[in-house]
Amino acid sequence: MMAIAQDRKIPAPEPNPETQAFWDAAARGQLLFKRCTACGELHYYPRAICPFCFSDKTEWTPASGKGKIYSYSVLRRGAPVPYAIAYVTLAEGVTMLTNIVDCDLDKIRIGQDVRLVFKPTDGGPPVAMFAPV
Amino acid sequence: MSINGRAYIAGIFEHPTRKADDKSLAQLHAEVAKGALEDAGLGKQDVDGYFCAGDAPGLGPLSMVDYLGLKVRHVDATDTGGSSYILHVGHAAEAIAAGKCRVALITLAGRPRAMGQATGTQPRNLGMATPDAAFEFPYGPTTANMYAMVAMRHMHEFGTTSEQLAWIKVAASHHAQWNPHAMLKEVVTVEEVVNSPMIADPLHRLDCCVISDGGGAIIVTHPDVAKSLKRPRVKIRGAGEALKHQMGGRIDLTYSGAAWSGPVAFAEAGVKPADIKYASIYDSFTITVLMQIEDLGFCEKGKGGRFVADGNLISGVGKLPFNTDGGGLCNNHPSNRGGLTKVLEAVRQLRGEAHPKVQVKSCDLAVAHGTGGQLGSRHGSATVILERE
């Protein structure tokens, strides 16, 4: 049985002064995370103050867009269409919450290689999702 | 300062309703407060500390202390989701030990069923000022799929199976058949669980807890107060709390906050998991139980699937009788917050007041543990160790 991922209405994220650059980059098709120049650690979701060392010397860093599925689940009841939520570990090492799209939902597997795609939202900037390579 | 032996649970009450169309939310809080005070043999005027969490209407304790007509000198509205009330037991013991109050009232109530809430499968937005909201809400995180991802990873790492998870529901149903108030009283089989509709892979409908109305209350007192009352005495021996989160993107779904709160509580009590005769373990989903049993140290990490199989959680059958009221999986889950009811059944077991069919023999030491929020992203964990005196 095939369960091809269907488009769903995606709620718009609301940028704020701390995250505006992230969403501006998303609109250009680029996924950013944060790197702390004081301690060298990467983090996601992005913050102004490093959650590892509390330095304010954090800088935006572009992701390559390559990743692997750490875990996932297809919600099959209670939503207008089934969809796959997932944690994807980026090649750079941070793990982010996302959706797996453009695929057969029944064939998603942990450890699968995925690539970045952007999907439009309901009146806001696009959001980063991933499709199997 | 240790809380070991510095406070007692003197009164408990569980609301019998499972669908409260005819009652207000505040009224449910008052009814459980009244019930627990009557159980203890205390009156409203004795209460000088009040504890509630996010289920309380209005401005938490401000609204509820007014509505209940209390005069208190200590309040605490710490909200760590469904684990709040187990954490409150520890906080109440701390406050009593520090002389801030002598009789603490903890209440929980909710009516999600009467309100027709699709609790488990609707993404919850706590407001766009929540720092994670913009980075998570668009992806549709719900209670069901955020717990399901933990189950999926556990299966991948450790070879845990759906049949093993199903045993947790089977054990709960064996207990619930004796509870006249339980929403689901029918004993189910492993096959029935794994053949129930898939909600969020790999969790089936019967891997999920019920959605119910109701509530409960707990009275925690100074030892001198407990000793003046006629009820069996349940001593608070130890408490631990922890918050686990995404750690800046270093996500590890293989353990829960129980790995931190559990050892703290056991150390304070000076006991080991092997000493525990009965365990109340938060059961929002079957995977929640499996993770907490491992993280509390009842079995090795990754071996929870084998540990829970073959009826090992069934009272009178297995090594670790759990949730003998039927738990959230079968009995109730008021306000979608199951922590308080975990304490209630632990107290019943220690008093020898559980249903005779599920009462654990010589039950003198119990644990109650809860997880609140999302096991797959950020959650509160609270553990208490209780002893019959």
pLDDT in tens, A64-121: 999 999 999 999 999 999 999 999 999 999 999 999 999 999 999 999 999 999 999 9
Break chain A into its structural domains and give their ranges.
Answer: 20-132
To the question of domain A20-132 being in CATH 2.40.50.840, the answer is yes
Cβ contact B149–A85 (<8 Å): yes
Cβ contact B139–A8 (<8 Å): no
Cα separation, A130 vs B5, whole angstroms: 53
Which chain A residue has the Cα nearest residue B377? A97
pLDDT above 70 covers a percentage of chain B that reads 100
Which chain A residue has the Cα nearest residue B253? A71
Which range has the worst mean pLDDT, A3-7, A50-54, A90-94, B229-233?
A3-7
Question: Which of A8, A14, A45, A97 has the most B C-beta neighbours within 10 Å, making it the best mutation to test the interface with B?
Answer: A97
Question: Which of A85, A98, A118 has the most B C-beta neighbours within 10 Å, making it the best mutation to test the interface with B?
Answer: A85
Average pLDDT for B187-208: 98
Q: For residue A77, count other CB atoms closer than 10 A to its CB.
A: 15
Average pLDDT for A1-29: 93
> Which pLDDT belongs to residue B117?
84
ipTM of the complex: 0.98
A54 to chain B, minimum CA–CA distance in Å? 12
Cα separation, A61 vs B165, whole angstroms: 41
Which chain A residue has the Cα nearest residue B132? A45
User: Does A87 contact B at CB distance below 8 Å?
Assistant: yes
Pairing relation of β-strands B103-110 and B49-51?
A: parallel
> Which pLDDT belongs to residue A1?
54
Helix, strand, coil proportions of chain B in percent (round to 5)? 35, 20, 45
> Which pLDDT belongs to residue B292?
98
A43: nearest CB among B202, B248, B253: B248
Which chain A residue has the Cα nearest residue B142? A75
Q: How many helices (H) and strands (E) does chain A have?
A: 1, 8
> Which pLDDT belongs to residue B128?
82
Q: How far is CA B248 from CA A43, A49, A67, B244, B336, in A?
A: 5, 11, 17, 11, 28
The architecture (CATH level 2) of B8-115+208-388 comes to 3-Layer(aba) Sandwich (3.40)
CA nearest B99: which of B74, B77, B75, B78? B74
Cβ contact B121–A127 (<8 Å): no
Average pLDDT for A21-42: 98
Break chain B into its structural domains and give their ranges.
Answer: 8-115+208-388
What mean pLDDT value characterizes chain A?
A: 96
What mean pLDDT value characterizes chain B?
A: 97
Q: Per-residue confidence at B118, pLDDT binned at 50, 70, 90? A: confident
The model's pLDDT over B230-276, given as tens digits with 9 standing for 90+, comes to 999 999 999 999 999 999 999 999 999 999 999 999 999 999 999 99
Instruction: Find the DSSP H helices in B60-118.
Output: 61-68, 84-97
Cβ contact A14–B133 (<8 Å): yes
> Which pLDDT belongs to residue B239?
98
The model's pLDDT over B142-159, given as tens digits with 9 standing for 90+, comes to 999 999 999 999 999 999
Question: Which of B201, B252, B287, B377 has the most A C-beta neighbours within 10 Å, making it the best mutation to test the interface with A?
Answer: B201
Q: For residue A15, count other CB atoms closer than 10 A to its CB.
A: 18
Chain B hits for A80, Cβ within 8 Å: none
The model's pLDDT over B13-56, given as tens digits with 9 standing for 90+, comes to 999 999 999 999 999 999 999 999 999 999 999 999 999 999 99
Cβ contact B201–A94 (<8 Å): no
User: Is the Cβ–Cβ distance between B51 and B104 less than 8 Å?
Assistant: yes
In this prediction the pTM is: 0.97
Residue B327, pLDDT above cutoff 90: yes
CA nearest B54: which of B133, B98, B108, B102? B108
Q: How far is CA B379 from CA B4, B253, B335, B375, in A?
A: 25, 12, 17, 6
